[in-house]
Amino acid sequence: MSFAEDLKKQIFIKAQNLVPQHQLSRVVGKVAASENFLVKTAVIQAFKAKYGIDMSIAEQTNPNQYKSFNEFFTRALKQGVRGVDERADSIVCPADGEISQLGKIEVGDIFQAKGQSFSVEKLIGDPQLAKPFIDGQFATVYLSPKDYHRVHMPLAGTLTETLYIPGELFSVNQTTAENVPGLFARNERMVCLFDTELGRMAVVLVGAMIVAGIETVATGKVKPTGRVELQHHQMQLDKGAELGRFYLGSTAVVLFEKDRMVWEEQFKANSTVVMGERLGHSV
């Protein structure tokens, strides 16, 4: 890495701590939710051009038909664009994106990047709820701005708890993953916990800077309160069913118990993935 590249990275990391993360996200959230024709059209067109959004796979292909940028950003895909692996032993990818990391949870620690790790207890936010995942398996999937932003079930299960955890809103990318200790366990997040045929499963929806919101099928759009909020549920969801969505890009972390499943060998850090493909299987 050149001196200029290193300096640019250091400035970016320092800026993460200086920027008023929550205030900026609230401002962006208001713009993203605006149904003013000129505002939403300008934002959608600029975003579409910058990230090369492929509208041909969207259920609604005309960007002008979306009521707001939020509706555009969380757009549904056409029927059949994404297939869900139906094999009985398969565990499917919860979202379109890129594998940040995946593997074994080592004595309660989840590998983040380049010597950075964080504890499963901090990620889940409750020692008892986190206990089944000690020494289990994890996969971290990063959803970039250009990706489809709905998160789906990796495996059929019953949603038993959701735990909203307030936190910081660092950007979520390779640079911050390598330089911000405990990134995914520090950012605001919604922890979704399930009973499945493979035991306990967690899907953690992690917020990030200028993410204007997280939504789940059980809680609706999260309204940040600044305090931890635990809710109990009994909601059955099939493999591949929609679990939630992000209003701007972020990350989903999937956790399983020890000795219940393994990830497919071809997947590693930086692997491109799509929702519904076989990411792992039961053992």
- Any bridge partners for residue 221, and if so which? 215
Helices and strands per DSSP (H, E), number in the chain: 8, 17
* Residue 178 burial (CB count, 10 A): 15
Active-site residue, 171 included: no
State what percent of residues in the chain have pLDDT above 70. Answer: 85
**Position 75 pLDDT exceeds 90:** yes
Cβ neighbours of 141 (radius 10 Å): 27
**Set 25, 68, 90, 96: catalytic member:** 96
Q: From 171, 212, 169, select the one nearest 32 (Cα to Cα).
A: 212
Name the average pLDDT for the chain.
Answer: 88
Task: For residue 45, give the H/E element and its range.
Answer: helix 37-51
218, 63 in Cβ contact below 8 A? no
25 is catalytic: no
Residue written as token pair 């051009």: 49
Separation between Cα atoms, residue 101 and residue 76, nearest integer Å: 26
Catalytic residue among 68, 147, 152, 171: 152
pLDDT given at position 208: 77
Residue 3 pLDDT class (50, 70, 90 cuts): low
What pLDDT sits at residue 247? 82
Does residue 29 surpass a pLDDT of 80? Answer: no
The closest of 143, 148, 141, 145 to 77, measured between CA atoms, is 148
Q: What is the pTM of this model?
A: 0.87
Q: Which of 68, 90, 100, 250 is catalytic?
A: 250
Of the candidates 188, 167, 203, 201, which has an alpha carbon nearest to the alpha carbon of residue 95?
203
Catalytic annotation on 85?
A: no
If you average pLDDT over each of 85-89, 163-167, 219-223, which comes out highest? 85-89
What is the C-alpha to C-alpha distance for residues 9 and 12, in angstroms, rounded to an integer?
Answer: 5
Strands (E), the chain: 90-92, 97-104, 109-113, 116-119, 137-142, 150-152, 157-165, 189-196, 199-206, 213-216, 220-221, 229-237, 242-247, 251-256, 261-263, 272-273, 278-282
Q: Where does the pLDDT of residue 32 fall: very low under 50, low under 70, confident under 90, or very high at 90 and above?
A: confident
